[in-house]
């Protein structure tokens, strides 16, 4: 027996692993920021010529899973996450790669079995940002991302008691394509450092099956998550 996202409670829904279909959500927001120092830097409007640059950054924050995942006995309370990114930019555009890891838990809901299994979510994404406006060195950017979401379980095997002994259930890992969008604020710090904050939504889809009376109804369901992350990055710039 090999479910992916699974629910063991009678009458609840279950889903099997599948590659996701693409879906996108691009958020638009305007955020006011406090004035910053007027010193020029790689991101300053004071530069007459756009500067090419490269950065490596560390990410930390929180992820809120879509409430629909509660139907599959997932915990949808916010969970901490961490990651890193490497970006290159020129003028108003920047692009690069990002790694983010977070997780949650899934209840088993069967007497005699373990209470829950941990769900580990790892994203490998290509990220593009475009500067929308800049005021006193504080930048607002629109963000679009796409990549692979890997969901793994720990433990990934559970023994379910049955009349003739027990049945072993295996939680297969799920690989799904995901897309997302959001907004970001960036501000240079002293020297070659910058800090920022991002708010993004990510969407992915899985094949699912729901119990309707005595029948199982199959279909494709979209899921997602909201993330808020802080960034601290080291900039390597050149004119």
The pLDDT value given to residue 31: 34
Give the angle subtended at the CA of 35 by the CAs of 31 and 37, to the nearest 5°: 135
Question: What token pair was written down for 222?
Answer: 């979209």
CB 12 within 8 A of CB 164: no
Any idea where the domains of the chain sit in the sequence?
14-238
Which of 190, 192, 205, 202 minimizes the C-alpha distance to 227?
202
CB 37 within 8 A of CB 222: no
- Whole-number Å distance between alpha carbons of 210 and 11: 8
The tens place of each residue's pLDDT in the chain, 239 residues long, gives: 444 454 444 334 444 443 333 333 333 333 333 333 334 445 444 444 457 899 999 999 999 999 988 888 889 999 999 999 999 999 899 999 999 999 999 888 777 677 888 999 999 999 999 999 999 889 999 999 999 999 999 888 877 777 677 777 788 898 999 999 999 999 999 888 999 999 999 999 877 766 666 777 777 889 999 999 999 999 987 65
The pLDDT value given to residue 37: 39
Which of 200, 203, 188, 201 minimizes the C-alpha distance to 233?
188
CATH class of domain segment(s) 14-238: mainly beta
């Amino acid at each position: 027996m090999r479910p992916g996202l699974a629910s063991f409670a009678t009458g609840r829904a279950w889903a099997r692993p599948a590659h996701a279909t693409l879906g996108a959500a691009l958020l638009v927001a305007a955020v006011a920021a406090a004035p910053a120092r007027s010193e020029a830097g790689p991101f300053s409007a004071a530069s007459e010529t756009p500067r090419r640059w490269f950065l490596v950054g560390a990410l930390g924050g929180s992820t809120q899973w879509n409430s629909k995942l509660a139907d599959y006995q997932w915990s949808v309370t916010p969970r901490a996450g961490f990651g890193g990114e490497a970006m290159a930019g020129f003028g108003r555009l920047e692009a690069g790669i990002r790694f983010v890891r977070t997780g949650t838990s899934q209840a088993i809901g069967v007497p005699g079995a373990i209470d829950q299994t941990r769900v580990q979510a790892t994203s490998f994404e290509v990220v593009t940002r475009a500067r929308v406006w800049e005021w006193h060195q504080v930048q607002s950017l629109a963000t679009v991302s796409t990549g692979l979401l890997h969901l793994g379980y720990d433990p990934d095997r559970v023994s379910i008691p049955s009349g003739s002994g027990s049945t072993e259930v295996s939680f297969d890992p799920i690989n799904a394509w995901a897309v997302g969008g959001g907004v970001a604020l960036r501000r240079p710090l002293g020297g070659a450092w910058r800090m920022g904050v991002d708010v993004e939504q990510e969407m992915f889809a899985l094949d699912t099956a729901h119990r309707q009376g005595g029948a199982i109804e199959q279909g494709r369901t979209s899921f997602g998550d909201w993330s808020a992350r802080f960034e601290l990055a080291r900039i390597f710039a050149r004119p």
